[in-house]
Amino acid sequence: MNSAPYQEFAKNKLHVTFADIELLVTAFTHRSYVNEHRKTAKEHNERMEFLGDAVLELVVTEFLYANYSEPEGILTNWRSALVRTESIGEAARRYEFEPLLRLSRGEKRGTPRARAQILANTYEAVIGAIYLDQGYEAARQFIADSLLGTFDDILATGSWQDPKSQLQEMAQSKDGHTPIYKVLTEDGPDHDKVFTVGVFVGGELKGQGTGPSKQIGQQQAAERALKSYEQ
């Protein structure tokens, strides 16, 4: 396997010189690739992702604790906004992870939703690889460079706030009704369901959302309903 692209990526994008570049290669290796290349690929990135997730959570928690004096509940919501799939997946896109992903032929043709999840998981695995090879401080620096700088935008847009809670306050104050969520459709096989959810206020459909779970569909429906109040 040619590790040169990973060495170049580590140097130019991560600003890290790996002692063991195979750790970074593993971070980019999806389970499906190992299943398809059993003779040449021995390990996928899931254990590394598990480690990186813990390091990410600690770094973000330290950052928020050191810089803000808000109550625990708000800090928890801020942390959730920083480490959610959308935030870390976008960080992976900005750092141009995608060309280095090692995926099966099937996964390469996967849906945008599946690819976003793979990128987010790989971001955590890369943190794990940096931590294993270079230690905590190098991992912290990568997270600071790639992710923590987005926090001002999260605060400015209010995207850290739970849209369902926001919508409930808005609907009750403006319409005098509590939002009601209903599943409109369920599509796909059991292992890959897509739910379309509508949110109704006073019997009127205010927004629709789709997602791999009812909860995600509800969140998206609430976000779209909030936009209808802003118009």
65 contacts: CB under 8 Å, gap ≥ 6: 75
Q: How many angstroms separate the Cα of 161 from the Cα of each of 82, 157, 164, 173?
A: 12, 9, 9, 18
158 contacts: CB under 8 Å, gap ≥ 6: 166
What is the Cα–Cα distance from 36 to 38, expressed in whole angstroms? 6
8 A C-beta contact, residue 119 and residue 97: yes
What is the Cα–Cα distance from 89 to 119, expressed in whole angstroms? 5
100 contacts: CB under 8 Å, gap ≥ 6: 5, 6, 9, 28
Phi/psi of residue 207, each to 5°? Answer: -175, 155
Extract the tokens encoding 152: 């001002």
- Residues with active-site annotation: 53, 124
Strand partners, 185: 196
What is the Cα–Cα distance from 119 to 130, expressed in whole angstroms? 16
What is the Cα–Cα distance from 113 to 108, expressed in whole angstroms? 12
